[in-house]
Amino acid sequence: MKQLDIKNPFGAPVWHEEKVGSTMDESRRLAAEGAPHGTVISAGFQEAGRGRIRTRPWKGNAGESLAFTILLRFGSIEKIPAAFTLRAALALLLALEDFAPPLKGRILVKWPNDIMITLPSGRRKAAGILSESDGKTVYTGIGVNVAQSAFPPELQDKAVSIGSALKEYHVKAGVLNSFVLLEKILLRLHAENEDGSPAWKDRLEARLYRRGEEVCFFPGPAETTEELTGILQGVTPEGGLIILPKGKTEPESFITGELKLYE
């Protein structure tokens, strides 16, 4: 494990391993050893990267993806910012625009933890976030498709990399440095979650995937088969998704569930 020479506004070290099982597991190990608030562990390749849904692990190609986890010590569950993962998603969206300015205004947050890019060929997932907590410390894992030019058959119509997105807009990407992107993400994460950045909810809703459109939503635990159709209206201050169900006059909010993916 080596320490990277990049700026971390949290004032903690940024570690890197070429290959790990999962950065989430490594982050928990570092926390147990007393690593300070804001410590980061990144990896060139994860053998067992996790996703929000266990049957959908995060897959990234060695040398073409950014995968890292940051540990944030809040001390108690009451001090963890409301809607933490959504606010992290907003920070990630802004950092991706900092990293690839031609994509500004074309990046969206898909509730609760995915980043989508609007392309001429449709909307595709470019990044994901997984947050876990023990009540005192939050472990936030972020994976970004940076330079992939191809994906497995099951992901070809669902995923995109930053490099491929730029290519679709006829922009020469050049060399995309994942560590440069990591630094930009850390700057945005700090600004959104520790500097008291205002109006996060309004800014996020302006970039919310499918807002104002009819959606199919699967409420409740992961892999549920129950479907709800309605108009996606926004999010609550606590991070819940607000939907006006079809045939009803009052909106409902949901803290768990999944939106059907549309192109």
* 185, two tokens: 């993400």
**Checking DSSP bridges between strand 14-20 and strand 2-3, what pairing results, if any?**
antiparallel
- Domain locations along the chain: 2-205, 214-259
Tell me how many degrees the CA angle 196-237-85 measures, rounded to the nearest 5: 70
**pTM for the whole structure:** 0.92
- Digit-coded pLDDT (tens) for 32-82: 999 999 999 999 988 865 555 454 555 556 678 999 999 999 999 999 999
Each residue of 211-236: pLDDT tens digit? Answer: 999 999 999 876 667 899 999 999 99
Task: Name the CA dihedral angle for 54, 209, 64, 23, rounded to a multiple of 10 degrees.
Answer: -40
The answer regarding whether domain 2-205 maps to CATH 3.30.930.10 reads yes
